[in-house]
Amino acid sequence: MRCAMTGQPLRDTSDGIYDDGEWISWDWINGQLAEQELRQEFPNANLRVVEIFQDLVALAAAYKQETGRYLQIWGELGELYAEIKYGIVRHRPGTRGSDGRMGNDWVEVKTISPEKLSEVAHVKRAGNFNKVLVVKISEEFEFQALMFDRKLLGKGKGKRAKVVWGRHSGSTASGTGAASATG
């Protein structure tokens, strides 16, 4: 007995279902359902990149569980989340001005990690971007994000604007949560 979809042997009849003259394994069916769920959550993403992202998050959580310390990969996780959730096409590493593009918009991604004592991100005022995406990662490695127009940063003083999670009322939000941009 073999699965018609994968060619893998089935140990017994409980490992699959028999339909229309063929055996189909539960592993293959469950894989299809998992792929559909991923496609619903990340409709435009490369599913292999989504799986890698999920593996990285799981490894970071396991490392924290084992050692009590966080891996310092917050910025990369935030940018990967932006890529798979919002369809942002990231620039090559080291490109100045913004982190990537989403359609005709240049996007700057900032990540708030669970290690931060306050829910604040600092965004440079200089640079070639017209959208800001703030990604917040909880202690449970859950991700939330908020996207807003750069103009909401205001003019202000200094080279950086402060974005405070949860205080922004006039944003063009995408995703879950809220943030505030102040000078």
pLDDT in tens, 30-76: 999 999 999 999 998 999 999 999 999 999 999 999 999 999 999 99
**59: Cβ–Cβ under 8 A, 6 or more apart, which residues?**
71
What percent of the chain is modeled with pLDDT above 70? 91
* 139: DSSP letter: T
Residues 6 or more apart whose Cβ sits within 8 Å of residue 57? 77, 141
pLDDT at 125: 87
Handedness of CA 148, 153, 159, 162 (dihedral sign): negative
Q: Where are the beta strands (DSSP E) in the chain?
A: 16-19, 22-25, 89-90, 100-102, 105-112, 120-124, 131-137, 143-149, 160-165, 179-182
Amino acid at 92: R
pTM for this predicted structure: 0.80
Judged against a pLDDT cut of 60, whether residue 172 lies above it is answered with no
